[in-house]
Structure 1
Amino acid sequence: MKILHITESFGGGVTSAINSYILNSQQHEHYLLASVRKGDTTGEEGNGLFKHMELVPRRLTSLVRVKPYIDRVQPDVIHLHSTYAGALIRALPFIPAQKIVYTPHGFAFLRGDHPMMLKAYRTIESLLARRTAVIAGCGLDEQRIAGELIEPGSTLGLVNVCDELPNVPAIRSLTSKPVIGMVGRISRQKGYDYFRNVADACRNVAHFKWIGGGDIQAMAELERAGIEVTGWRPRNEVVAHMKGLDLYFHSAAWDGFPISVLEAAKLGLPIALRRIGPFIAENLTTADDMDNACRQITAFVKGDPETRYALNQNSQNIQNLHSGEYLQASLESLYSRFNQRLDGKRLVMSGS
């Protein structure tokens, strides 16, 4: 089968997720049409096992490139990644709805925007669900939410997985305190303000580090709060910085199931998590609010055995569920649905 992946946010975790889907379904031909989000490149953008890839500028005028590329590839499946690509491509009337798989990587209506905006996002998702064959959520929670928008039988969960990490020496911060870190784009989605406030409350017991870059003003806010900010680094360096952490602390306000958390688990780091849907769905230990997060981190640093066990168990539980074998089986289940449709179409054509 020919599978065309389309995204307007190639970079960061979306890149890692798409590459892992391809690595775990190599029996199919994979193509990519994407725009790279400025400042989010990780060095992995050329690592996918695509038969062909075409990168276009990240602007609306690039939509004119969609139809010619589809006509050239003639895909059996069009797999859309991210909410903006999901909205823009499904709105194009020449895209056959029966070929569309949509993976949101975090629904837009879970954001911390004005309630009217969130209602509008959800309405749009509900309308566009009619132009979708399957919503393949990245994780159990995204699949559950998808079942509120489309017939539950037309949903599927694709667990994100972490591929092999580069073998690099740890980069440690110049501090005698335990180092607590977060990886990602400095943005509202990743909860940089939440991270900053927890860091401020826990500054006496730990050193806080943000591995990533983003908005210049937001970066400056973190640095003024005494948080070490690396800026965007190549993947090898990101992993090296992660190896230098004592605790991984994921502060996102909304997310699919983030690749950075999977990487932290693969490195065997204890993991502290903000209480959001994907982590609740997997029964992981989470913190309800900033006060609880600070108490949890303080207890961890002071060696509280119950807290240390819970945060290490987060890491182990994530590794157990997010396996390559599980993802391979899920992808085969997903794409085989379209094989069945193709086989049925061939039978109709041969009988006519």
Structure 2
Amino acid sequence: MKKILHVAETIKGGVATVIRTISAPPEGEASNYELVYLIPHDQKKELHGIDEQQVRTFFRTKRDALSLLRFAWKMARVILKEKPHVVHLHSTFSGVIGRCVCLILRPWRSPKIIYCPHAFSFLMESSPAKQKVYSLIERLLQKVTDVIICVSQYELDTAATFGIDRHRMKLIYNGIHYKSDEPKTNGQGPIHLLFVGRLDYQKGFDVLLKAFAGVRRTDLKLTVVGSAVNEDTVDCPVMDGVEYVPWVTPAEVNALYQAADALIVPSRWEGFAMVPLEGMAMGLPVIASDCTSLPELVSHEVTGYIFPAGDHQALTDLLVNIEKPGLLDLGTQGRKVVRERFSATLMIRQTYDVYSAPSY
């Protein structure tokens, strides 16, 4: 039996969805694997459906030095105790700290190291100097990494330009389980827009608010689902037609997808976001920025609309002109695209093939 340790410094949002999805081994192979998880204590509920006996936690108040030290210390203890065959690191902070921990422990334990950045740090909007530092760190740490999972072609190609070895990288698109074909209705009433995600700079929350403020249509309603994760506080101004909802259960999110007419994804950068996949699988058209990987999923005027990342006026111009009948047609096409190209079954199979493949 092969033991897999999933490690994440934070799992709010799409990372939790990815971990839950790949926590089910390929059909008929469940007895071949034992899964263990290391996540923040206050985010245990994000792994609903997973046996709590498999979950190890550390205390995280925010992304500060003390919390990161707790994370590193607990990870070292878990590796020594659990003796995993594979350590699967999720996101960049886990990738940096986790690979350093594994390097220190190498005289005693040498698990296979799988790293999925869910968007490399050098893909972020930052200065050239910071990008050079981020890419230097990644180039150094790739030497102790067996496989780097990239979740979009954009991420893989860009990483290669920054000096990451293509032979170490493997493209595995995020996938989603089949959703029912419950049709959306072209009813009367307001157009309901939905945003689901962290309320931070990366996700373009500020772009969304500026754009919606400029629309001045009384028939548009916006529901914002999420909270800040990497910021201490976030400004959620009171606006006509805007409702703020904290993080909710998957069942509640699905109900919101079903009730909405369009999903807005105004991110500045992404690895390969799960939210648009979930929305499209429920028949929602996606109004997305053209950042990084999103055009690999959303096609302009085919499965939704694309606007320049960070351009709130361009998003406003789109929102001014959308109508329900057109949104319904785009959503129907989006559901078809997800089913054909982004299935959870394929994602799971490819991930477990990586676990079993020879080391680099």
TM-score with structure 2 length normalisation? 0.80
Residues 131-280 of structure 1: pairs in structure 2 closer than 5 A: 131-148=144-161, 149-163=163-177, 176-204=189-217, 206-214=220-228, 217-221=233-237, 223-224=238-239, 227-280=242-295
SS of the aligned residue for 1:23 comes to: coil
Q: What RMSD in Å do the two structures reach over aligned CA positions? A: 3.1
Is 1:84 the counterpart of 2:99? The answer is no
**Could you tell me which residue of structure 1 aligns to residue 34 of structure 2?**
29
Gaps of 5+ in 2: 61-66, 301-305
Letter in 2 for 1:73: E
Shift in Å at residue 160 of structure 1? 1.6
**Could you tell me which residue of structure 2 aligns to residue 316 of structure 1?**
336
> How many angstroms apart in 2 are the aligned matches of 1:315 and 1:57?
39
> How many angstroms apart in 2 are the aligned matches of 1:283 and 1:248?
11
What is the number of equivalent residue pairs in this alignment?
329
Match of 2:119 among 106, 116, 119: 106
SS of the aligned residue for 1:187 comes to: coil
SS of the aligned residue for 2:8 comes to: strand
> How many angstroms apart in 1 are the aligned matches of 2:146 and 2:348?
20
Is 1:94 the counterpart of 2:84? The answer is no
Shift in Å at residue 302 of structure 1? 6.5
> How many angstroms apart in 2 are the aligned matches of 1:179 and 1:85?
36
Shift in Å at residue 117 of structure 1? 2.7
Which is further off, 13-22 or 322-331? 322-331
SS of the aligned residue for 2:6 comes to: strand
SS of the aligned residue for 1:156 comes to: strand
Is 1:61 the counterpart of 2:69? The answer is yes
> How many angstroms apart in 1 are the aligned matches of 2:136 and 2:359?
29
Q: Is the 8 A contact 1:42 1:232 kept in 2?
A: no
Q: Is the 8 A contact 2:178 2:343 kept in 1?
A: no
SS of the aligned residue for 2:234 comes to: helix
**Could you tell me which residue of structure 2 aligns to residue 325 of structure 1?**
345
Which is further off, 65-74 or 155-164? 155-164
- Cα-to-partner distance string for 1:84-141 (whole Å, 9 max, x where unaligned): 0101111233244771110011222222334433332222222222221110122333
Cα separation, partners in 2 of 1:144 and 1:247, compared to 1, 3 Å: same
After superposing on structure 2, the runs of 4+ consecutive aligned residues of structure 1 that deviate more than 4 Å are 95-98, 307-312
Shift in Å at residue 3 of structure 1? 1.1
Shift in Å at residue 13 of structure 1? 1.6
> How many angstroms apart in 1 are the aligned matches of 2:58 and 2:44?
17
Which is further off, 204-213 or 241-250? 204-213
**Could you tell me which residue of structure 1 aligns to residue 63 of structure 2?**
none
Cα separation, partners in 2 of 1:151 and 1:21, compared to 1, 3 Å: same
Q: Is the 8 A contact 1:142 1:256 kept in 2?
A: yes
Gaps of 5+ in 1: 343-352
**Could you tell me which residue of structure 2 aligns to residue 346 of structure 1?**
none
